[in-house]
Amino acid sequence: MGSHRRYFYPVWLRLWHGLNAALFLGLIFTGLNLQYASASAANLNFRAAILIHNVCGIALSLNYLAFVALNAATGNGRQYLPRLKSIVGDMLLQARYYLFGIFRGDPHPFETTPQRKFNPLQQVTYLLIMYAVVPGAIITGIGLLAPDILVRQVFGLSGLTLTDLTHTVFGFILSLFLLGHLYLATTGETPTANFKAMLTGWHEDARVPETTRGTNP
């Protein structure tokens, strides 16, 4: 076993993650403003909310493209691919940890290494979120930005309504994801360890030899 501190998150990844998080928050905030707009409620100015939402959305889309490109270029994309053979068992194992093991102080069932940063549950969730829901939200978002390119009618329903509904539902799923993501980030070695790692790039190893434990309170 090597050093207990390992370099997990390269600079580009941290930059991307930070930007993504900030834009995400902006989108959710302004999105809620648009969704629950009303004449009486004292909320953010509707037109300002539209502007911010559009700008953040476009920025997030570009950021997403950078993410996909860099994932492909650096090989980081492989982190998201679960081992297909044992995927069901692996996920159950991880779920059992979150439901029971975590309370007992059991070790994480899958060792976190720079080669394998995500547990199977993370892999599957992230894969769905980053390669299905986020692109879906981006595509429907583009559709709403330029409604003239949309299909007018789908099975007798307005294409716009359908796109808008999908966009709203995707936005909602992503908000839920954010909640879960933030919470599960606290399940690291210490509640703040994962946050620090995301800031500094260095991951505190969970399985450090007993002898070195005391050095890092």
Partner 1 sequence: MVRMTTLPQDPATAAANQKCLRCHALTTLGYRNAADGLYVNLSVSPAEYHASNHGKLACVKCHTKAFQTFPHSAKLRRKQLVCLDCHKKDRKLLKFQFPGILREFQASVHVQKLGKKFTCFQCHDPHGFKIHARVSRRVAQTVLYDNRICLQCHGNEPAVLLASGKPQPSLDLIHAWLPHTELHWANVRCIDCHTSPSNTGVSHQILPKERAVRDCVRCHSSNSLLLQSLYKFQARQERSRDGFLNATILNQSYVIGATRNYYLNVLSFVVFGLTVAGIAVHAGLRRYFNGKRAAEDEKRRRHGQP
The residues that touch partner 1, with contacts defined as CB under 8 A, are 34-39, 46-47, 50, 98, 102-105, 147-148, 157-158, 160-161, 164-165, 168-169, 172, 175-176, 179-180, 183, 186-187
Q: Using the minimum distance from each CB to partner 1, give the nearer residue, 2 or 156.
A: 156
Q: Using the minimum distance from each CB to partner 1, give the nearer residue, 106 or 111.
A: 106
Ramachandran region, residue 105 (left: φ > 0; alpha: ψ -120 to 50; beta: rest): left
* Residue 197 C-beta: closest distance to partner 1, Å: 19
* Residue 38 C-beta: closest distance to partner 1, Å: 4
* Residue 165 C-beta: closest distance to partner 1, Å: 6
Q: Using the minimum distance from each CB to partner 1, give the nearer residue, 26 or 159.
A: 159
Ramachandran region, residue 201 (left: φ > 0; alpha: ψ -120 to 50; beta: rest): left
Q: Using the minimum distance from each CB to partner 1, give the nearer residue, 54 or 79.
A: 54
* Residue 187 C-beta: closest distance to partner 1, Å: 8
